[in-house]
């Protein structure tokens, strides 16, 4: 990364540019802790450049997320995860990334594109898309939106289930092994408090355009 301006500070500033990129996963994890401990013990300001979001989230006091030389968001790690300023940040932070779902209008509100129910956003939703993280979606036995399993990825501690709802694809994270084969029918639920709304064209976060609704109602 090329720095576009000089950094002027009274205290020492340390710049590290991808220092762990050539290490294996185990050594990278160990060195992240060593670098963070050293920085805190010495009390120095460190500018750490990385493409690895795990390094950024686990080591930084503050993250500046860049795309094509422009700042997408500047904030503490928790802010970038829980209140992404735009769709780019929402999809960059998190593994798997946040689900982005296209919407379709109905007389009662917006639904996931390719479905007729349930309503996921109240009010007009033209030009909007809905975001929800995989870990905030759960499987329900009797309620929620109907979905078809596309495939399942087993990661050991958890599994990623990729599903199709209408014309949209969503991923959800569940603990341990998920015994769902391709084509299985499941019902998915999420809370309105875990929903993010973005402008489809610009990607900017929308705070007041529409009100998310809990997806818990039973559907046919």
List per-residue pLDDT tens for the chain, 220 residues long. 333 344 444 567 899 999 998 899 899 999 999 999 999 999 899 999 999 999 999 999 999 999 999 999 999 999 999 999 999 999 999 999 999 999 999 988 999 999 988 899 998 888 899 999 999 999 987 778 899 999 999 999 999 999 999 999 999 999 999 989 999 999 999 999 999 999 999 999 997 766 888 887 543 3
Whole-model pTM? 0.85
Q: How many domains does the chain have?
A: 2
- Indicate if 88 and 109 belong to the same structural domain: no
Q: In CATH, what number is assigned to the domain containing residue 192? A: 2.40.50.140
Residue 178, in any domain of the structure = yes
- The DSSP bridge pattern shows strands 121-122 and 211-212 to be antiparallel
Q: Given 33, 66, 92, which residue is the final one in a domain?
A: 92
Q: In CATH, what number is assigned to the domain containing residue 43? A: 3.40.50.300
Q: Given 49, 66, 92, which residue is the final one in a domain?
A: 92
Instruction: Output the CA angle 128-81-131, nearest 5 degrees.
Output: 25
Return the pLDDT at 209.
Answer: 63
* Domain membership of residue 67 as a residue range: 13-92
Whether the CA torsion 89, 92, 93, 96 is positive or negative: it is: positive
Return the pLDDT at 139.
Answer: 93
Residue 166, in any domain of the structure = yes
What's the order of all strands across the beta sheet hosting 196-199?
Answer: 196-199, 128-132, 99-106, 109-112, 121-122, 211-212
- Indicate if 72 and 173 belong to the same structural domain: no
Residue 7, in any domain of the structure = no
- Indicate if 121 and 77 belong to the same structural domain: no
CA 165, CA 151: separation in Å to the nearest integer? 13
Residue 73, in any domain of the structure = yes
End-to-end Cα separation, the chain, in angstroms: 52
- Indicate if 61 and 131 belong to the same structural domain: no
Whether the CA torsion 53, 59, 65, 68 is positive or negative: it is: negative
Residue 6, in any domain of the structure = no
- In the numeric block, the tokens 């909007």 are attached to 128
Q: Are 119 and 110 contacting, i.e. CB atoms less than 8 angstroms apart?
A: yes
- Indicate if 111 and 161 belong to the same structural domain: yes
CA 127, CA 103: separation in Å to the nearest integer? 8
Q: Given 70, 92, 114, which residue is the final one in a domain?
A: 92
Residue 218, in any domain of the structure = no
- Indicate if 103 and 197 belong to the same structural domain: yes
């Amino acid at each position: 990364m090329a720095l576009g301006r000089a950094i002027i500070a009274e205290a020492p500033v340390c710049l590290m540019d991808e220092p762990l990129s050539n290490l294996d996963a185990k050594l990278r994890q160990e060195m992240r802790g060593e670098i963070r401990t050293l920085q805190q013990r010495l009390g120095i300001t460190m500018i750490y450049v990385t493409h690895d979001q795990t390094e950024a989230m686990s080591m930084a006091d503050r993250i500046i997320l860049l795309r094509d030389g422009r700042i997408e968001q500047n904030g503490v790690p928790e802010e970038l995860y829980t209140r992404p300023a735009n769709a780019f940040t929402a999809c960059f932070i998190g593994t798997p990334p946040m689900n982005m779902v296209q919407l379709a209008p109905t007389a009662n509100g917006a639904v996931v594109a390719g479905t007729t129910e349930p309503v996921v956003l109240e009010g007009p939703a033209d030009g909007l898309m809905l975001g929800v993280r995989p870990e905030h979606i759960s499987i329900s036995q009797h309620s929620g939106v109907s979905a078809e399993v596309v495939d399942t990825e087993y990661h050991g501690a958890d599994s990623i289930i990729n599903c199709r709802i209408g014309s949209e694809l969503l991923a959800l994270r569940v603990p341990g092994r998920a015994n769902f084969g391709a084509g299985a029918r499941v019902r998915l639920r999420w809370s309105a408090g875990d929903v993010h709304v973005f402008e489809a064209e610009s990607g900017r976060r929308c705070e007041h355009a529409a009100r998310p609704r809990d997806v818990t109602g039973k559907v046919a």
